[in-house]
Amino acid sequence: MISKKTLITRDTFDKLILPIYNPASFVPVKGKGSRIWDQEGKEYIDFSGGIAVTSLGHCHPLLNKTLKNQSKILWHVSNIFTNEPALKLAKKLVASSFASRVFFANSGAEANEAAFKLARYYSNKIYNTKKNRIISFHNSFHGRTLFTVSVGGQSKYSDNFGPKPLGIIHAVFNDINTVKNIINHNTCAIVVELIQGEGGIIPATIDFIQELRELCNQYNALLIFDEIQTGVGRTGKLFSYEHYGVTPDILTLAKSLGGGFPISAMLTTNEVASIITPGIHGTTYGGNPLACAVAESVIDIVNTKKVLSGVTRKSMRIISELNIINNRFKFFTEIRGQGLLIGIVLKPSISYKINKILNFSFLEGVIFLTAGNNVIRLAPSLVIKECDIIEGMKRFYHALEKCLL
């Protein structure tokens, strides 16, 4: 616990930080595994995973060791050089995916920005300048830059920042007919999340994704999978697209890739990359040696049968516990998602209490997220211990009890 003399509280945030966020009243100061502690020494079981980021929990010993070792060798060299950690990470991502080429950046928004720019640039060079339309989906989320937030299908994030980029149109997720009604030969790309995260933890159907691939082939459009939230083991496969039997042209990763260290990646094929020349895009910190070294260790740990099969097993245990809880309270209409990206859909009669449920959960010492107005989201560590699952669900039960009072 921090000394009272040095305590920096939530009130300090209100005085100093731009009020873009509305953080919880407690301030975490320490983390280990799937547990964190606040300034008062109170312990919490973390089912939020830093919004699907801390894929190996807090302060994983191997990641600590990797970061410490790399920090003694090379921190940063800029993109006028390459570096060994970036090359080693790229080699492993290519070896384990459909891709032949990798671009590193720092956030999911940057990876998606690069993907959307690449799609338009490719179509401009290979076809013509009119082939620039991007199809996305209502309730999707692809980042906070002006381009990515416009491609995202939630106007509440893009309104009042206009004028918005042109050539973006939205279809209905999991409804292939709405895509067929708007796709044409001026479409350069379709971008889709395999599970809509911020939109409510809604998985894409296999038929829908396969038909998107067919439409892209028919209209010479690129298929972009946004796996910012689903990639790197989150769904029980290293990449979620492996569940669908469909290969994209471009794939974006972030969140779990660095296990908490900021890094993202855009993966693509040699064909799409063939039009790239030096200088058309870039980022100062992309491919940073520290970030790439940590991410390589994440891939080494996650891309194993033990961890990936464990994701499926842990998911089943959590869902089993949630069903037991729901048998008591009857608060949930559905539990959906895949692997360790789980959405608890609240009944309309209880959904207005979603923030109260989260606050009661905090008081009981367990941390969840929301996804939309009626979904509680779980995105815990991929290696969360069974004892933490059991204790966390027990605390959640007690939080829901308080909602009945």
Q: What's the token pair of residue 71?
A: 């920090």
- Residue 198 domain-assigned (yes or no): yes
- Residue 361 domain-assigned (yes or no): yes
Residues 6+ apart with CB under 8 A from 166: none
Residues 149 and 236 in one domain: yes
CA distances to 187, 262, 276, 322 from 219, rounded to whole Å, are 7, 36, 22, 44
Residues 163 and 263 in one domain: yes
Q: For residue 11, name the pLDDT band (cuts at 50, 70, 90).
A: confident
- Residue 68 domain-assigned (yes or no): no
Is 144 assigned a ligand-binding role in the annotation?
Answer: yes
Residues 135 and 207 in one domain: yes
Is 388 assigned a ligand-binding role in the annotation?
Answer: no
Residues 219 and 333 in one domain: no
pLDDT of the residue at 4: 52
pLDDT per position as a tens digit, 40-89: 999 999 999 999 999 999 999 999 999 999 999 999 998 899 999 999 99
Residues 6+ apart with CB under 8 A from 270: 100, 101
pLDDT of the residue at 85: 97
pLDDT per position as a tens digit, 276-332: 999 999 999 999 999 999 999 999 999 999 999 999 999 999 999 999 999 999 999
Residues 53 and 184 in one domain: no
- Structural domains in the chain (count): 2
Is 141 assigned a ligand-binding role in the annotation?
Answer: yes
CB 169 within 8 A of CB 205: no
pLDDT of the residue at 1: 47
pLDDT above 90 (res 5): no
CA distances to 119, 134, 147, 290, 341 from 272, rounded to whole Å, are 8, 16, 20, 28, 30
Q: For residue 220, name the pLDDT band (cuts at 50, 70, 90).
A: very high
Residues 287 and 188 in one domain: yes
Which of 264, 281, 302 is where one domain is finished?
A: 302
Is 227 assigned a ligand-binding role in the annotation?
Answer: yes
Return the amino acid letter for 105. Answer: A
- Residue 63 domain-assigned (yes or no): no
Q: For residue 191, name the pLDDT band (cuts at 50, 70, 90).
A: very high
- Residue 270 domain-assigned (yes or no): yes
| SS3 at position 387 | helix
Evaluate the CA torsion angle 368, 370, 371, 374 in order and state its sign: positive
Residues 334 and 222 in one domain: no
Q: For residue 152, name the pLDDT band (cuts at 50, 70, 90).
A: very high
pLDDT of the residue at 162: 84
Bridge partners (DSSP) listed for residue 224? 191, 250
d(CA 324, CA 318): 10
User: What is 181-223 written as a DSSP string?
Assistant: TT--TTEEEEEEESEETTTTSEEPPHHHHHHHHHHHHHHT-EE
Residues 296 and 312 in one domain: no
The CA-based angle 199-176-134, given to 5 degrees, is 70
pLDDT per position as a tens digit, 239-275: 999 999 999 999 999 999 999 999 999 999 999 999 9
Is 228 assigned a ligand-binding role in the annotation?
Answer: yes
Q: For residue 355, name the pLDDT band (cuts at 50, 70, 90).
A: very high
Is 210 assigned a ligand-binding role in the annotation?
Answer: no
Tell me, what CATH number does 149's domain have? 3.40.640.10
pLDDT above 50 (res 18): yes
Which of 268, 302, 336 is where one domain is finished?
A: 302
Average pLDDT over the chain, rounded to whole?
95
pLDDT of the residue at 6: 59
DSSP 8-state assignment for residue 337: E
| Other CB atoms within 10 Å distance of the CB of residue 320 | 13
Q: Which domain holds residue 127?
A: 74-302
Residues 178 and 85 in one domain: yes
Residues 298 and 310 in one domain: no
